[in-house]
Chains A and B, each alone.
Chain A
Amino acid sequence: MIQDSGMARHALWRLLGLIPTLLMLITVAFFLMRVAPGGPFDTEKLLPDDIEANLNARYHLDEPLLQQYFRYLGQVAVFDFGPSIQYKDWTVNELIRQGMPVSLTIGVAAMVLAFIFGTLLGITAALRQNTRADYALMGVAMLGISIPNFVVAPILILLLAVYAGWLPAGGWDWSIASMVLPVVTLSLPVTAYIARLTRGSMIEVMHSNFIRSARAKGLPESVVIRRHALRPALLPVISFLGPATAGMISGSVIIERIFSIPGLGSYFVQGALNRDYTLVMGVVIFYGVLIILLNFLVDMIYAWLNPRVRYDKKR
């Protein structure tokens, strides 16, 4: 059918665009790490020269930088991120496999929460535009955007874990209780932003001519909102999901630190501080690919929801 070929072509075009992004990501991260003064073995007690030379050789750190780069690209192409320099008995792949489920769970849960609550709040505020409820909701949303998560987290821990004792103050044992605080804290700024975004978008849509047409047809307001207004109103929110994920991944670094969660964010910070090149690269690439794929998915969903985007190549 006509629309399928439009979608397929669009998808292919987007997919091709991903490769330069990935390449740039890997290159920048690689060279940035190598430029850092100090190597991975400087922090340990002074090693005799020959042992250090052996270690360097083992991790190919004695080769010229460009050669290391291409060797690394080759490895990445087969998904081999190499051994961790810092955690000597582990490969990076194994470490990622350990940390990924944790970070992914928190991230996905936070994203789903943010989307559902954010859009609900935003739509509610939009339908009650300029009433007290609207101002209150938007004021709270602004607060959500403004309070840094490392402020919210300790306060919530203080209130809900220390004083009330309802939830654990940190740690991760796959129980719902241990998930609540990190997920909520992580999702807060994104929820707030989505709420404001949805509200603005919904208000704009509700003032369009085609909404007036729908009302002139005698359709009940709930149908007008559901069938005619919702889809265009949510389009900017869908677009935002890409950057929202990137933002959430950034935030997870802090959240994992505060709540002592053994996720990829923690590995990253430790790796950066200890010059564990392979681990840092591995995490960066992993997250990078994730974000890129998600952006791609979001693009596809957007094109599916907005027919005008699909066909602008034709006319």
Chain B
Amino acid sequence: MTKSADIPVIDPFEAALGVTDVKGRSPWQDAWHRLLKNRAAVYSAFIMAAMFLMVVFGPMLISWEPDYTDWDYTSSPPSLASGHWFGTDAVGRDILVRTLEGGRISLMVGLVATIVSLLIGVSYGATAGYFGGAADRIMMRIVDIIYALPFMFFVILLMVVFGRHILLIFVAIGAINWLDMARIVRGQTLSLKNTEFVEAAKACGVGDWDIIRRHITPNLLGVVIVYVTLTIPQVILVESFLSFLGLGVQEPMSSWGALVSDGAQDMESAPWTLIVPSVFLTVTLYCFNYIGDGLRDALDPKDHL
């Protein structure tokens, strides 16, 4: 009958295999590696970086002012000779510089409205998730109700009500788009609250705030990053819808939506006025969607959307 004390100690497992240094990988590193393998996301990130640079620095480098009307070249197609590489619109304004300037507005609205969305969504969701019970049920019911309604109507109403001030656009759009974020954050908070490592922390006497800071927040970070990246294109889209309807940013400011709207007017005679801003807008949305998708797959690998 063998007793454990009788079994001789044998060579350590790793040494016998010849494997000496098994370095562990943190979940963040794992996620990073997965992200890098997603070619679509990586290419999109490069394109977006290029887009940012173009939009920020482009107008400074191009010789034309966005509201400069070049009477020699009204509605002229793209050509290197005229100096208007992407053509001009009906009153002779250079399309490229207008598109890049419009990009500044569109992207800025995208970022700021997303931040508004983020703040509202995260606080709402985390509160609902952390407190649970009746408060959670009521809060989520409200989200369900709002989710079921056509957002466009409310945004239009808001714009009509409050006028077309740019700050209000941020707020209006952000106020509509926080729902997804709230739902996700609430779900994550709920599941985190009940995890064993939080229980263990509580058992060791770690206070509520410390738990939130050290355990819950880093785990929320992942989902928040994903949804921020996915919210940005949604918000840009809403802003461009508004601009298209004439309810967005006021002249002389212009965004991609407004440019597309203008371009659609002249599309038969000057299709480039439609195509150039459309391409910029579409490429931006396309890339952000891929990046968001890639982030989601990297942080939560499942073969879904």
In the complex, A touching B (Cβ < 8 A): yes
Q: Which of B253-279 contact A (CB under 8 A)?
A: 257, 260-261, 263-264, 267-268, 271, 274-275, 278
Q: Which of A187-221 contact B (CB under 8 A)?
A: 196-197, 200-201, 203-204
Whole-angstrom distance between the alpha carbons of A17 and B303 in the complex? 34
A243 is an interface residue with CB less than 8 A from chain B: yes
Contacts of A109 in B (CB 8 A): none
Are B158 and A32 in contact, CB atoms less than 8 angstroms apart? yes
Binds B, one of A67-75, A90-98, A177-185, A287-295: A287-295
B99 to chain A, nearest CB (A): 13
**Chain B residues within an 8 Å CB radius of A158:** 267-268, 271, 274
- Size category of the A interface is 35 or more
Tell me how many residues of B have a C-beta within 8 Å of chain A. 47
Q: In the complex, are the beta carbons of A147 and B282 less than 8 A apart? A: yes
Q: How far is the CA of A29 from the CA of B155 in the complex (A)?
A: 11
Which B residue sits closest to A288, measured CB to CB? B149
Within 8 A of B (CB), among A62-103: none
Contacts of A269 in B (CB 8 A): 156, 245
A258 to B263, CA, bound (A): 13
Chain A min CB distance to B297 (Å): 10
Nearest neighbor of B268 in chain A, beta-carbon distance = A162
Q: Does B226 contact A (CB under 8 A)?
A: no
Given contacts A150-B240, A257-B245, contact A268 B156 (CB under 8 A): yes
> Which chain B residue shows the least CB distance to A236?
B304
A16 located at the interface, meaning its Cβ lies under 8 Å from any Cβ of chain B in the complex = no
Residues 13-40 of chain A, each 1 if its beta carbon lies under 8 Å from chain B, else 0: 0000100110011001100110111000
Among residues of B, the one whose C-beta sits closest to the C-beta of A246 is B150
Known: A146-B285, A291-B150. A200 touches B305 (CB 8 A): yes
Chain B residues engaging chain A, CB cutoff 8 angstroms:
40, 141, 144-145, 147-154, 156-158, 160-163, 233, 237, 240-241, 244-245, 257, 260-261, 263-264, 267-268, 271, 274-275, 278, 281-282, 285-286, 289-290, 293, 302-305
Known: A150-B240, A158-B274, A200-B305; 7 extra A-B contacts, CB below 8 A, are A36-B161, A37-B161, A129-B303, A200-B302, A250-B151, A253-B152, A291-B150
12 CB-based A-B contacts, threshold 8 Å: A17-B141, A29-B157, A129-B303, A146-B285, A151-B278, A154-B263, A154-B267, A196-B305, A200-B305, A204-B303, A249-B153, A269-B245
Residues of A participating in the B interface, judged by any CB pair closer than 8 Å:
17, 20-21, 24-25, 28-29, 32-33, 35-37, 129, 139, 142-143, 145-148, 150-151, 154-155, 157-158, 162, 196-197, 200-201, 203-204, 242-243, 246-247, 249-251, 253-254, 257-258, 268-269, 272-273, 280, 284, 287-288, 291-292, 295
